[in-house]
Every structure is written in structure tokens, then in C-alpha cells.
Structure 1
């Protein structure tokens, strides 16, 4: 039986309604890269995970154990679906030759009439690998069995860090990869460590020699976009503390250059995004990706806002979104904030929705579990559900007639209930789905009637049960009209 809780629901941390940033609060995700496909934007992120010392205290992020890439997606830029982690490197990874998977870049190209997807990643700073798939969410395989770009690649001999790729597939189908970084001693103003190189038609080979990009005070984080006939190369400036050349980017900011050719020559213009310290009071490196979605431009970038809210801002980063404006060939200065971007369409509650889809959350996590109810054989489920935890969806359109039922798939543990509430965690109750306890792990579907869900409202799924017990795991849900 559900017991009363002196605190009716868990408090949100990091992402507070109605804010849009950071994008998710149940996990970290750094170095974001965007791929838009079939009406959704997919964000691929370095999978920051808390590291602990021998006494159980959170220590600084060493990045040395990161061998997975996180993936989230959205078709409205407010409600995000967690697709789990790509095991990219390491003994269990797709690319077993690699030890780390940092700063991914994704691309799509139609080859022989088929959609093909390519995921480029940095094996620490020593080379760049590539994975391929028939879907933006995988499964992914390593087509080469080794790095795509190595120290032996022509034109990279003087590059300090072989990492941080960005990829452009041009209008004519030709493709280019941008990468590099680092500051050789005494070369803070002109590190000469940024490169661009042609990709082969197969997207898994390189052609010719890598060409330098003369980016002033370059540090890391390649970005590339084509707007009209102009190519925009963007990057993060280094942290040189001496006197900087007039007109150069300040430390740790995103700057840009332009060209009328994807291989250059390039013209430097200036800085467009200050360091996260300026906006959020917590600094660190600056990493971004600019993308177009539904007739507008956006920038994905990371900041240590979630880790700051958790009291462990030791280099653990979260992805954010803000809008980008191009005007008369220039990129206007971007303002980062917690508000984020406007939701571009209402959420449809009448389609089967992965439970790890949320605008806001409190207390829960997500994990990939075996499930025979999904064609892939697995599901990214909502997990670690305790009494009072919740998830919320923004701007859910129930329509004029409204919803009459709610159903969900779950893996019962101690059991409990899902309370369906409107606009806030203790808002109007429109229905309750009971989840009985179970001694054996088996996915089950249940259904309940609802009333009062009409129009466009925020939806909260509030989980209730025995305090101190894990209640259940949630796979999918759907309303009925």
C-alpha cells in the first residue's frame, strides 16, 4: 500500500521548470554535436560520469575512463528522449582498438540509395575513429578496425591534439572533416593546429593531405556550417593569460572564420559565445555545435550547471541550447542562459512514447534493459524510481476532446503507482495507474482511465510507493483519445 510521504515529491535539481537548460538533468553530456534527420535533432555527447576517490568523494573529471557516447533526441527542442549510450571504445566497444571516445561528430549521407550514418570520435587526443550505422541511434560498427586519422596521416605532423572532429557533407555530396587542437610551446597566438581534410565518397576514408586553418589562439572544438554560399568554421580559443593581440578572441570563447570554399582560405571575424563562467558562474572549457532545425539556427554547447547544482562542479558538463542569428553574413553574439529555446511544436501524447522522454525530472535515471516488447530487443527504460520521483513533459496537446485512458509498460519491483498530474508535480490529478509488486522480472502492460486531460498542458508522471524501496522500471507509455 502506498504510504504518505512528508515531502510529496522529489525536488528538481539542475533543470528547474520551466527552464530549458540544461537539456536533461538525469545524466551529464559534454562536447555536443547535432545531427538533424527525419524531423528530429539527435545530439551525441561525451559521456561524462562522476569519478570517485578511495574515500567515496567526487574527484575531478579525468576523462580517461570515458569510452561511451550518449545520445538524446527531440522533435520539439524541449522534450528529450534518452537513447542510451553507444559503447564506442574499450574492450566491449565497437572500436576495440580505441581506449576513449571523446567529442563525437555525426553525419548522414545517402550512399547507393540508402541512408547511412557516420559517427566520428576522438581516441583521447591521439587519433580519430569512425563508426557506421543504418540508423542515427545504431547499432554501430567499426568499418576500419583502426583509426581514420592517425599520426601517419599526411598534413597532421604538427598537430598537438588529433581530436574534436566536425564533418560537413556539402550540397554536391563531397564531404570534409575538420579537427585538431592544442598549443605548442610559445605559439599561443598562432598554434597552427587546426586542420581540414577531404573525406572519401565512402565517408570512412580520407583523401589527399590535411590543410591548416589559420585560426588565431586556437585551442580545440572544430565546428563547420554552410549558410548560403559561405562556410563558417568555429572553434574554442585557448586560455593564454598574457597580452592578447587586438581583435583576437578572449580566453575560452567560441570564435568564427568564414570562407567561400570548404578548404579555405579563411577570414577571421571574432568571438560569438563567451565562456560559460560569464553566464553561469562556473567555467571550464567551451565546446559547441551549430545546427539548423525547422527554419531556425541553434547552438548546442556545454556548461557545468548540473554539476554545480549538485555541488560537484569538477569538470562534469551538461548540454544546453540557445538560438543563433546570422545577419548580413555575420554571426551575432550569442547569449547563453537557463531559459534555453522555445518549444517548436506541441507534444503528442497519443503515440507510444519511450519513458526516458522528459522535459524535466527529479530523482530518476535511465538504463538500457533487455525487453522482448521492443523489436530491437532492448529498451532505454526509466530506472532508479523512488517514492516522490517524477518526470514531466512540456506542452502536451491532449486536444479538445481530451484523453480517456493511459497505458504503460513496466518492470515491477516493490510496486506502487503512477499519478498523472497537470502543470506541476502536485497539480490536478487526472488518473492513477497502479503497479503491483512482483517477485519475478517480466515486462507487463497496464491501463487505467483518465479524466480532465484536455487542451495543451504540461504533464507530470509522479511515482508513489513504499519510501526507501525501488518501485519499478518504466518502458513506454501512451494516452488513448
Structure 2
């Protein structure tokens, strides 16, 4: 799995570089504008991706990945409809894994339904008597894996899709990242008959989760399939993922997605075969692409519905306005047409489902369609109140703030004016997130003055879309008040409100959300648990100096108690402990703490729960950087390494994450120019988030903004001066740091800057203070002697790509075991492709240190993606990596030094002047370490690294 995680991480890094050169022909713009009232694309309200459309009996089903939740986290659910216009979402009991990606459901000859889905990078299969469950894994255990990764050689297992041929034979297709040389798409033919778990031999594993193609063992898939094949990407040009096969007039059409799912390059292409469903296939061309005005953006990962001889493509595309990650996707439908020779004509994507769904007459619309709407607030012109009554699933009303962006809860409301008093008996509300619950109430009025309660859902804990409230009444005005949300930081937002005299019939009227997925009916933060004032954290050097006797001299601290905010109001205390004494002194007119690049303050308590998930927050810090590093971290709010689970304010020159890190490549961002220019100067950096937009201000001026989505986990502790793991240490001064669970406006930012920008504290007479870490200087002790030496060049070349699974048998080697302090150094003599800037695969090699607990510290050359030198810490729990961003101009001299309980990773351009790597030093708790070297490409493509002057001192 670590190999796969590496590929996904590197894949994210290289998406823009590897796929940016792909050229596609944009689709024309046809039909109505994206925000036209009454549009029928998207066909369902909400964020869903990877749709599979099926029709069983007289009911349509859309099985899709739950999107808008980071990386597709969320419950298994299905949309159902009788008329293809009015849809209902049902959360199902299974799967219960963290991610449920790219589901497909097929009815078996025996009448049962089989559910295929993937998690990275496995395929699991369930079965049920109905299309909506309850489901059960056919291997028994809830998360048992049927198809493991690389079950077909050179196929990364993802995106399963089943095709049944005319003779009843079934074929399962699966792939992602099929673009690599020698890769493509996997296909496996199922054995006929019913699957009988009890009949499986005891020698077959009922769970393939730990299966590895280099150490295979018998698994259930060996009995489930009769044959398998790699369909190479020489047949499927630029295949990335999402295969879907169908048959028409004796021709097998293999359709798939290419490009990056985050960008406009994502598109659908196809190939054909007249031989059979396993190919060979002949590439034919593109069939669905981003349109010219980019209101249809990144269309792909589709399925195809045939009905009465016509074909329709159901696919996802990015929302408007586009989310920064590209993971707020929406499901649409357009017609698929063929020419006389059977070639698929380029699809013209539309917003009104032109030639697919007939426009609804006014008599078919709900009575609130087009009604006048007023609101307590709205975010901006993308999210106007009138969008709540326009019957368009691509437009959304969003309030200006969340319910808890401030000291007290504030409700947000929409008021609909029907124009006259009208009778109705049902109201449908389609909230932004169909799989999370909202708490709300509905009121009606005949005159707009006196209101009657229509429905009270202020304690609701049930998900649904639409949320259906019934009651016969007569009124002109309807008011929806949203009082709270399940997920902390979700803003009050609605796709559509529909008011019915006679509501259309929806399938499964009694079905409600099932509780299989963890946390389905639990609220992140209940109102009674909120303690707004105690969630402020204010760290201020002048306050500490005022409370500490120091005789007008600099002093050292080992503990800081944050007990007052910047207004002086008393707050509960939060204590921070220093790993080393930290100097408090006056720097250029401000009291400040000097962090020397190896120091940090760590809280005893975790981040308060008010910051959980997508909550609004502000971090404001007066900082002066004395030495700018790639990702030097001023403050980290949690210790979590999970996706989007932390917030880190940085002062680094990395353009991707040098200012703000959220453990997400799209959600993080940098401000390289401003940070580099600010070295040696006091700067006030404020980063603030309101639940939709994150903005960064420098000295009161906006320098960056983007929409964002977070999943903060208040785990571990808060760290000042380093990241949550104690690495990527900041070098410079911090005068004050404010952290609060509230967003700031431009006016707030300006006022804070003006209030805190004083530089009038006189010097304490210590201007000769040396702004360095004395412990980070490398001076080899004269008492250390060589205990191992390999002066001549030697080449390292791994035989497999499985370094992360078993390093010492897959590219790593140990030369000595050493107890106590030591220094190991080596010089990179050459790397395959370094001279010509043509590195093979993910070639990585250098020096290695490992301990008895299975943690491996790697320091080597990795010039791809501008990484340069790379410091990697591989363990069973995690694999953080720290590049120095020198690219192909990387440092040739490598060094590990152990000094007490610290391990320093350093590089040098000349072997004389050494610099700590980002992430260095790290703490070591074991007595004895093994020292050696390593090389790997993390793939089956071999390469090499040559070292020389390898020496160990002790």
C-alpha cells in the first residue's frame, strides 16, 4: 500500500506536468447559459462523481461517488427516479469503508444484485436482493477485498465496471493511471454461475487486502475469474481511468477518461473492437471534452444508458464556480450519436439536457418555480437567493456566513413570495450536501407578518435529498430558517426549494438513510459543546515580558501560558512547553521569541473542537524570518497527517505550500515573492477562512484568495515554530500569534494591523546576539574515527519496485550497526539521467538509517518535480517527505549526524558548508541504529544511483 500511496502522491505532484501538454478539441457552446432558470443539467442536486446509470424495472438508479467531501469520503448512496426528473437520494448500509469510489451495480441472472466498488487500490463486491440493499460483502467480512492491486500486471486497480455480453458472459474492467509505459487497463472474465463462498477451498484467502504480485498467495479472485488480460495503452491512447464498455451492432466500444480529473483536460475517449470484449482495440478519438467557455469543465468518468435504440452518456463535470480541488463534481446527461459507419460523434455537452429531456411545462413545475426570494444574506453573485427557486441543480444559494462564525449562533433564512395565497401540501428542500443532515424549520404566512410553524426540524439528525415536509395549508410566504448543520463549518446553502400542490411520486417512499457508515447521525459539534471564548489562543511576547522579571535583559523561556487575547479579556489558560529554551528579546522595536530552526513550543491540550472539519478560523502572526526555507512552519494547529486535516501557517518560499498547508496539494498555497522579500523584516500575516474562501493578507493587504474545503481533525497538539511532527522548523522571530474560530473581514484585518503595528520598544543592548542554532552547526568531533569506508564509486540498483514494503530486500542495504553518536557521509557521483534531466521513473537513492522499530530515514537525490534532495521518513504509520526544492541543481554531498536523541539530515553543495534539510532534525528514541544506503524507483522500471566517498565516523 505504501507503494500505491507514493504513486498517488507523486501522481498528484505530476498531474500538471505529465498531463498539461495534452491537447484536446474543446466542445462548442450550445443551448442555455449555465445559470438559466429551469435547466435540467446537472440532473441531480449536489456533488457526486463517477456515475453509473442503471435501469431496473421502471426505475432509474444512479450509483456514484459521494463528492464535495475532500477526496470522495462519504457513504454509499444511490439516486432513484421514476421519471428521470425528480430524484431521491438514499444512503445505503454498505460499504462502510472510508471511501466508496466508482460504484457499479448489475442484476444477476438469479435476480440478485451485485455491487462493485473500489477503494485505493482494491475492488470489493457486495450482493443484495434489491438495488438499494441491504448489501453484504460476498466474501463475508465487511471490508474483504476481492480484486487487489496489480492483480493484472501493470494495472493499478481502481474504477471497476462490469460488461455483460450477449451470451451472458461477464467482464470486469478496472484501471487508473493507465498512462505509464507498459500500463493500460485490466480486464478479467468472470466464471459463470452463482458465487458460493462456502464452496471456496480453505486454501484460498477470503480477503486479498495483503496480496502482492511479487509475493502472491491463492485468493478468492482466482476462482471468481477464469482469465485476465492487460489491454495496453497502445490500444487505448492516453487512458487514465474510468473504463466503460458497451456493444452496438456487433462492435465493442471501449470508452474511458483521459487527462487530469482536477482540470479542463479531463475528457472521454474511445476505442473499438470487432474481435471481442477483451480486445484488441483500435483507438478512435475523443467524444466528450470541456467546452469553449468552460462552463462545462472536466467532463468524464461516465456510463452509458441505452433506451429505445438511443444512447445517452451520463458523466460528471466540475461545478460552477469551480472548486479549487475539482472535487465538487456534478452529474449530467447528454445524447450519444453515431454516424453511418458506427463512429461515435463528438458529444455536445449542454446545460439544459437538450434533445435528452423534454422541457417541463409550467403545469409540471412546482408552484415556487421562479418565485421572488429574499434572504438573510448571500455570499456573492455566484450564490444569489433567487437560485433557490430556479429549478436548476447547477445553481446554489449560499449564505454569507456559517451558523457559528462568531461568538453566538446566527440563523440564516430564505423567504419565498408565491405572489398570492396558494394551497399546497408538500415542501421539498434540497440542501447543498445530500448525505449530511441539516437542522431547520419551515414557516408560512398569508401576509408576511404573522407566521405559522409548518415543520420543525431543528433537532433533525437524518440525511436526505429532498427533505420532504408535508402539511395542507394556504399561504403566500414560505420561510426556511437553517439553524445548524451536521458538519462543522458547512454554510447554510440550498439548491432548490420546491412547493407542491400534488408532489410527483418518488420511488421507495418509506426508505430513509441507513446507519452503516460511521457517524451518519452524529453532529460534529453540538451547541452545548461550544465554548467560543475559550477557543481563542493568543501568544504574545510583550505579555510574557510584562509578567516575567528580566531586569531589562533578554531571557529564556521553557513554558508559555496563553491566558489573554489581544483585547485583554481573561481567557482560560493553554500551556505550551518548549523542547529547548527559547530566547525572548527585543528585535527591531518588538518583543519577540527567537526560534533558531530546531526549537518549538508544543501545547499540552489539543485544538478545541470548535475548529473541527470546515470551521471558520483566523491565524494572525507578527513574524520576522531570518532565514527563509521551503516550508518553514510558524504554527501548526494539529498533529494529524490525514488529507485536509490540519492548518499550518508557514513562512517558506515553496510556491505550492510555502504560506498555508492543509495536507492537500490543491488546498495549500504559497506566496513566494512576498515571503522572500520579507526576510529580515517584520510582517503581519493573517490567513482567514469563512467556510468557503480562504484569504491571506500581508500587512493588511490581500495577497491571495481561493475557495477551499477542509476537514480539520483536532488531534494531538498545537505546535508553534514547527509542523505537527516537530519538523520544518521556523527560523526567526515571532512577536505575537492569534488563533481564533472566527473569520475576519477586510475591515477587521485593517483594524488589527493598525492596532498592532507598533515598533517602539528600545533595544536591550544585545544587538550582537547570534541568530543561529548552535547545535545545528556541523563540526566533526576530533574524537570520531572512521569505522567504515567505501571511497571508490559503487552503484546501487534495486531489482524490484517494492522498497516501501520491505526496504532491505528491495534496494536498501546495511553496512554497520552503531550505538550512540555517529556521522555518515557520502557523495552522489551520478544518477541515471541526471546530466540530461531525464530521470528514469521515480529514481531515488542515497544514504539510509534504520532502527529496530522499522523506521527508515532516507536522504538522497530525487530531482523530479523540482524536489532536488529528499529526506523521507518511512514507517508503518506514515511516510512524510521533505524536499529542498533544488531540482536538478541538487546538492551532491549527503550527511546524517546523530547527536544525543536527535538525527540531523544535511546536504552540502561543496562538502564544507552544510545545511539542514527541511524536516531535520528528528528525535530518535532507540540506542542502536543501522546505517547503509538505498536505491529504488518504486516501480518495476529499473534505474541506478552511484555513490562514492561513503564513510561512517564514530
TM-score with structure 1 setting the length: 0.63
How many angstroms does 1:253 deviate by?
3.0
Deviations 1:282-329 (A, max 9, x none): 755731111113442100111113452xx6564321111110013332
**Which of structures 1 and 2 has the bigger CA Rg?**
2
Q: For 1:281 and 1:448, locate their aligned partners in 2 and report how far apart those are by CA, in whole Å.
A: 40
Q: For 2:349 and 2:79, locate their aligned partners in 1 and report how far apart those are by CA, in whole Å.
A: 20
Matching residue within 392, 397, 407 for 1:360: 392
Q: For 2:158 and 2:63, locate their aligned partners in 1 and report how far apart those are by CA, in whole Å.
A: 15
Matching residue within 349, 359, 362 for 1:336: 349
* 1:433-448 matched pairs, under 5 angstroms: 435-436=453-454, 445-448=470-473
1:117 aligns with 2:116: no
1:232 aligns with 2:253: yes
Do the aligned partners of 2:265 and 2:298 also contact (CA within 8 Å) in 1? no
Do the aligned partners of 1:166 and 1:223 also contact (CA within 8 Å) in 2? yes
In the alignment of these two chains, the number of paired residues is 367
Which residue number corresponds to residue 37 of structure 1? 56
DSSP 3-state at the match of 1:80 = coil
1:73 aligns with 2:80: yes
How many angstroms does 1:449 deviate by?
7.1
Q: For 2:130 and 2:417, locate their aligned partners in 1 and report how far apart those are by CA, in whole Å.
A: 30
Which residue number corresponds to residue 600 of structure 2? none
Which residue number corresponds to residue 844 of structure 2? none
RMSD: 4.5
Do the aligned partners of 1:221 and 1:235 also contact (CA within 8 Å) in 2? yes
Q: For 1:225 and 1:418, locate their aligned partners in 2 and report how far apart those are by CA, in whole Å.
A: 53
Q: For 2:344 and 2:194, locate their aligned partners in 1 and report how far apart those are by CA, in whole Å.
A: 32
Which residue number corresponds to residue 882 of structure 2? none
> Larger relative CO (CA 8 A, sep 6+): 1 or 2?
1
Q: Which runs of 5+ in 1 are unaligned?
A: 1-12, 52-62, 240-249, 351-357, 366-383, 392-403, 420-432, 451-461
Q: For 1:463 and 1:75, locate their aligned partners in 2 and report how far apart those are by CA, in whole Å.
A: 30
Which residue number corresponds to residue 166 of structure 1? 161
Which residue number corresponds to residue 143 of structure 1? 138
Q: Flag the structure with higher strand content.
A: 1
Do the aligned partners of 1:110 and 1:116 also contact (CA within 8 Å) in 2? yes
Which residue number corresponds to residue 290 of structure 1? 304
1:387 aligns with 2:409: no
Q: Indicate how the Cα distance of structure 1 residues 292 and 316 shifts in structure 2: closer, same or farther if over 3 A, else same.
A: same
* 1:204-283 matched pairs, under 5 angstroms: 206-214=224-232, 215-238=236-259, 252-276=266-290, 278=292, 280=294, 283=297
How many angstroms does 1:346 deviate by?
7.0
DSSP 3-state at the match of 1:298 = strand
DSSP 3-state at the match of 1:24 = coil
1:326 aligns with 2:338: yes
How many angstroms does 1:225 deviate by?
0.9
Which residue number corresponds to residue 99 of structure 2? 100
Q: Which runs of 5+ in 2 are unaligned?
A: 1-32, 197-220, 365-389, 399-410, 430-438, 461-467, 485-491, 505-954
How many angstroms does 1:416 deviate by?
0.8
Q: For 1:315 and 1:168, locate their aligned partners in 2 and report how far apart those are by CA, in whole Å.
A: 27
Q: For 2:77 and 2:166, locate their aligned partners in 1 and report how far apart those are by CA, in whole Å.
A: 28
Q: Indicate how the Cα distance of structure 1 residues 261 and 133 shifts in structure 2: closer, same or farther if over 3 A, else same.
A: farther
How many angstroms does 1:140 deviate by?
2.2
DSSP 3-state at the match of 2:115 = strand
Which residue number corresponds to residue 184 of structure 2? 192
1:157 aligns with 2:169: no
Q: Indicate how the Cα distance of structure 1 residues 277 and 110 shifts in structure 2: closer, same or farther if over 3 A, else same.
A: same
Select between 272-281 and 173-182 the one with higher mean Cα deviation. 272-281
Do the aligned partners of 1:166 and 1:222 also contact (CA within 8 Å) in 2? yes
Q: Flag the structure with higher helix content.
A: 2
TM-score with structure 2 setting the length: 0.34
